[in-house]
Amino acid sequence: MKRKASPDRGNPKRRRISESDPRKPEEVVPDAVKAPLNRKRRLLRDDLNDPMEGSSSDVGQRPKKVARRRIPREAKELNGNAGTDGEKLGRKRKRKAAEDADEPSQKRQRSEEEPREVSIRLMLTARAQFSSKYKQQKLLGEGGFGSVFAGYRTSDKLPVAIKHVKKDKVVCEHMDDNGNRVSVEVAAMLKLADATNGPVGTSATVSLLDWYDLDHELILVMERPVPCMDLQDYVARKGGRLQEEEAKTIMKQLVDAVLELQENHIFHRDIKTENLLIETGSDVPRVRLIDFGVSCFAKKGSSYQDFCGTPVHTPPEWYVRYRYTPWPTTAWQLGVVLFEILHSKDFETRKYVKCKVNISKSLSKDCQDFLEGCLAINPKDRTTLQQLQNHRWLR
């Protein structure tokens, strides 16, 4: 804002004196001394404008002769040419200072990348070991959680089943004794193998031979009984339903298998005809339990809200209070399996609860009693696994 003119503006005493002119405004200089005085003024202005020597305290004093320093070109550019080359040089210096400041963060980034590189090397090594040890062949089946291929072990031609599961499809994980998170499917099969302490093929559960935790997928190598097929295909080849005596042979083995799971606190959660293999190499069919992808470790008094398994086989208690428990649910699933292999129709919980699906009266009384005990609507009325093992129909 401009200052208003003072009333006594004409008064010489209130007029501002210029810093570059030491004279008073009304002082008159004779023409004879103008030239040397002008030279002195130029010297004074030069000294005042010199950034290395000038000072506001020199105003009005006779300039002293001082040795003029040579100002570096860069400093001149910074002081006299700001906005062009000086700005570029300043930006370069700032950039270099920023790079120097970023060196610790770059070191931290490199240190963070090192575990990633180690993980990649381990993954490549594991994949190479798998490729050299096993030969993968045709696709056997696939579902929402992974794909299963036939194959064999290259050292002795042992038939194997190779299961590929994407990491984002691993539903359940377990914390092992070392604090590492592993797939429950792997943890459950390893625990069953330790509990069996027998050679491969002696347990009702197929044995886990190897497993590889890779970057984006999990590979499980399991024994593959030959010849075999799943129970659903086996029943289809028998005309859609089994005779009661053959069904009894299969159910007796299945009850023993789930009791072994109960002793090891493993809740399978998805027992159905597709997850049961039948070895057909002998006169008596042998049952093998597979697919622990949605299994979990059950503690005493455990109950669950999120249902994992086949939706049409959900136990009725989940529809009532959205909660189910391990062993009554297992008994229910055994009843579902027995119903499907004895009737030429699929089982659905909702239809059974609404009495739209009924147990055939052509079955023996003991078989009907076994089925009704498994498929009791109230879980408290359901037959326990131990009671099923001792049921008169299985004797």
Catalytic residues, which ones?
270
- Helix, strand, coil percentages for the chain (3-state, nearest 5): 45, 15, 40
Bridge partners of residue 296, in order along the sequence = 267
Tell me which residue of 57, 53, 56 sits closest to 65, measured CA to CA: 53
The number of beta carbons lying within 10 Å of the beta carbon of residue 149 is: 19
Does residue 305 sit in helix, strand or coil? coil
H or E segment at 187?
helix 184-196
Give the Cα separation of 133 and 108 in Å (integer). 38
Beta bridge partners of 298: none
Helix (H) or strand (E) holding 35: helix 34-49
Q: Are strands 147-153 and 159-166 parallel, antiparallel or unpaired?
A: antiparallel
**Exposure on the CB side of residue 284, measured as CA atoms within 13 A:** 9
Please list, in sequence order, all residues whose beta carbon lies within 8 angstroms of the beta carbon of residue 3, skipping any fewer than 6 positions away.
none
**What backbone torsions phi and psi does residue 311 show, to the nearest 5 degrees?**
-60, -40
CB neighbours (10 Å) of residue 63? 15
| Token pair in block for residue 310 | 């086949």
Q: Are strands 159-166 and 217-223 parallel, antiparallel or unpaired?
A: antiparallel
CB-side neighbour CA atoms (13 Å) of 374: 26
Q: Are 374 and 338 in contact (CB under 8 A)?
A: yes
Burial of 291 (0-12, 13-18, 19+ CB in 10 A): buried
